[in-house]
Structures are given as structure tokens and as C-alpha cells.
Amino acid sequence: MEMLLLGAGLLLGAYVLVYYNLVKAPSCGGIGSLRGRTVVVTGANSGIGKMTALELARRGARVVLACRSRERGEAAAFDLRQESGNNEVIFMALDLASLASVQAFATAFLSSEPRLDVLIHNAGISSCGRTRETFNLLLRVNHVGPFLLTHLLLPRLRSCAPSRVVIVSSAAHRRGRLDFTRLDCPVVGWQQELRAYADSKLANVLFARELATQLEGTGVTCYAAHPGPVNSELFLRHLPGWLRPILRPLAWLVLRAPQGGAQTPLYCALQEGIEPLSGRYFANCHVEEVSPAARDDQAAQRLWKATKKLAGLAPGDDDDDPDEEPEPEDPRAPSSQSAPSPEKTTVSGPSRSYQGSQDLSKLTQRRIQVKDEPTP
């Protein structure tokens, strides 16, 4: 009996150490009032994104939930308005797997929202599920889509400077190894999915690094944020059904709640005085060193050029007008010789309502200019 009690005490003590050193997240401080500011949070209908949006709404921001599912996005917006007491929470449709959807979202947002102070790239996937595409779906959703969205919204971010871009990455970036010869190859099987997920998280960190260089002196800063080990849908969504009941209690014990996972992204979005750290990687609300592959400036520049191509941006886009947006070409869209189907984006919320349908072949061709300088 004494040995059992001793063993239980040791296990409890070990858990307390693990909880306070690895699981429990520090609380985010930062700007207290966000009234008059607008924030876009992708994938904000559940998990870390929803908790991030809730805290922003509580501080008075106008929050745009950019989500793929209309039903879940509108339900989340309703919940957040009720919970925060802030009616300035709206839903806008965004599917990061479709470049046409990203373009339609940007067009609708720029037409209806006069401000953008913070852009938080929270949405992501860890598996392709049953979807089979002709491209790397994990890289598209986790990196290429956010890359394109950032480019399209940069003019608004610049005009509202000081403003910020926060890219939710992961410690999994340390396992990433980008193969530029196979960057967009389809992913098949769980082993390839694990590798592709780590690669996409490495791409997030390199993107933040290069974006900071491109935007130096503009008043727009950017950060990569690791939320920590979080018990979210991203963790459980693609597990076999029989395994979920087994791992769910374990996840509750050793992983952070989504609210804890939201703290570092919130810190990067709100903390005053971190502007000189633009382009850096944050974990547990402080700067953390990254793997050697994630601080390779040549790889960051090479990834930037490769991603522009994957996003449908012309090679000369960096040399055009900074006040205009680029027009992507979606590999899944019909060719220019056939009439493309319209892409529709709907904004729903109590304050404003906007609905637009754009024929992508008729969208105004626009470009962005960013500085093309090597990282010091």
C-alpha cells in the first residue's frame, strides 16, 4: 500500500512538473483596447482560432472570421458575439485550398472593410484526409494560400500601419526539409503527410523571415508563432474513430486547451515593443531560436519565388505598383480559353452585409510591389 501511495505521489509530482513547464501557457498581455481596429483570423470557427478571435472581440476589435464552412463559421460568429458582448464579429467565406476563393475573399474584404490592422494566419491542416488533389494540399492550405492572401491584403495593411501579420507555425518545423524539386507534388499516405506537414510549418517560418525583410520600413511587421502542444481538432480530426476515445483523455491531461494555445499568437498580435523582432519565431510568448533550416536566408528567398509561382503570381509582381493587388491563377480554375465559373463570397454579421460574385477573368489585374533585398 505504501509503495502504491509513493508511486501515485511520484506520478502526480511528475505531472505537475510537466504541466507547469510544458502544458500551462503564459497569459497574453498587450494592448488592452482594440476599439476601431480590424483583425482577420483564418480558421476561427473552432480551436485556437476561435479562442484567439474571442479574446480580440473581448478587447473591442472588429473581428472577421475567415472560414471554409459557412455553417460552422456563422455559428462561431454568433457564439463569439454572445460570449464577448461585441457585435462586431462577422463571418466571411475562405477556402485556402482554392486560389480563386482566396482572391474572392480578398476582393470582398477590400470592398467592404476600410481597415486591416492585424492578419492572423491560423487555419491549417495536418492531413489530406480522403481528399486527393493533383498538388500538395498541405502546402497549399498551410503556406501557399496564406502567402497569396497576405499579398492581396498588403495594401490595406500598409495603409493602416503600424499593422501586423501573425503566422501560426509549429515546433514541427524542426523536422522540415524542403525539396524544391518536389515542392508541390501530391501527398499520399500518412508518412508523406507527416513530412509534408513539417515542411509546411518550415515554410511558415521562412515566409515570416523573408516577409519581414521585404516589408522593412513599411510599418508592417510579421511573426511566426508556435501555439504549443494543443488539444484541438487538428490533433484528433484525422485519427481513426476507434483511437479517439483512447487518446482524448490523454490529450486532455498532457496537451493545452485551445485557450492556452491562443496565447502566443495573441502575444505576437498585441504585445507592444516587439516590432524590432519582426520575422522572428515565438513560443510561450517569447522569442525562440529556430532550426538551421529555418534561418537559411537563401532558402527563404528561393521559397518566396517558388511560392509566387505556385500562387499564380507573375515573376515581375515585385516591380509594380505597391498600392495594387496581384491577380492569381487557380490551377483548379478553367483555362483562359474557357469561361470560368463565378466565385462567390458572402459576408454575414449584424453590422454589415456584403455579397459579391466575381468572374475571375474580369477581375482588375493588379500587382503588389515589395522590396526585393537580401536579408542582412
List active site positions. 197
Cβ atoms of 224 and 288 within 8 Å: the answer is: no
Residue with cell 454572445: 82
Cβ atoms of 167 and 146 within 8 Å: the answer is: yes
In DSSP terms, 332 is beta-bridged to none
Which ranges of the chain would DSSP assign to H, the alpha helix?
A: 2-18, 47-58, 70-84, 99-112, 137-139, 145-159, 190-214, 233-236, 244-254, 258-261, 263-270, 297-310
- Coil/strand/helix, residue 273: coil
Distance separating alpha carbons of residues 218 and 56, to the nearest angstrom: 24
Strands 281-283 and 38-42: unpaired
Sign of CA dihedral 235, 269, 169, 184: positive
Cβ atoms of 196 and 139 within 8 Å: the answer is: yes
* DSSP character string of 112-135: H-S---EEEE----S--TT---SS
In terms of Cβ atoms closer than 10 Å to its own Cβ (0-12, 13-18, 19+), residue 8 is exposed
In DSSP terms, 91 is beta-bridged to 65, 348
What are phi and psi for residue 60, nearest 5 degrees? 95, 5
Residue 350: partners with Cβ closer than 8 Å, 6 or more residues away: 81, 87, 90
Q: Tell me the angle at which helices 190-214 and 145-159 cross, rounded to the nearest 10 degrees.
A: 20
Task: Using only the alpha carbons of the chain, give its radius of gyration.
Answer: 21
